[in-house]
């Protein structure tokens, strides 16, 4: 039974920072690809960062590039999202996702590429 659990969300002022964590359990081996998505109520889920656990390639959406950093701890099978210089538009529910199947790089930002999802952690950025 695969389980992803996000933590680290909260409320911060513009310009502040947060670190989100995603712990993964129940996987045989490790996920092939992991990603962070976010969703604002009434809008589609948006991919913001992704990586392959077997390599060093990372992918970022234009909306977070230069401000957010995704990382992976293979020993703990955990993924992290370091978020700096947060803006009010970053307010959303943040979800961690994982795939045990090969995900081709053009598809790392597609929701259907990921079978396993966490329940989400809320991030609110406001003055």
Per-residue pLDDT of the chain (127 residues; tens, 9 = 90+): 899 999 999 999 999 999 999 999 998 888 899 999 999 999 999 999 999 988 788 999 999 999 999 998 878 789 999 999 999 999 999 999 999 888 888 888 999 999 999 999 999 999 9
**Integer Cα distance of 28 and 1 in angstroms:** 10
For residue 81, give the nearest of 47, 112, 108, 54 by alpha carbon.
47
Helix (H) or strand (E) holding 54: none
């Amino acid at each position: 039974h695969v389980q992803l659990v996000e933590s680290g969300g909260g409320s911060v002022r513009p310009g502040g920072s947060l670190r989100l964590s995603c712990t993964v359990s129940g996987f045989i081996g490790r996920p092939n690809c992991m990603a962070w998505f976010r969703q604002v109520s009434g809008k589609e889920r948006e991919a913001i960062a992704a990586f392959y656990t077997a390599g060093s390639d990372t992918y970022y959406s234009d909306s977070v590039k230069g401000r957010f950093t995704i990382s992976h701890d293979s020993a703990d099978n955990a993924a992290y999202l370091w978020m700096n210089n947060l803006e009010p538009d970053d307010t959303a529910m943040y979800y961690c996702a994982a795939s045990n199947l090969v995900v081709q790089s053009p598809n790392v930002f597609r929701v259907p590429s990921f079978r396993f999802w966490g329940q989400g952690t809320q991030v609110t950025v406001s003055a």
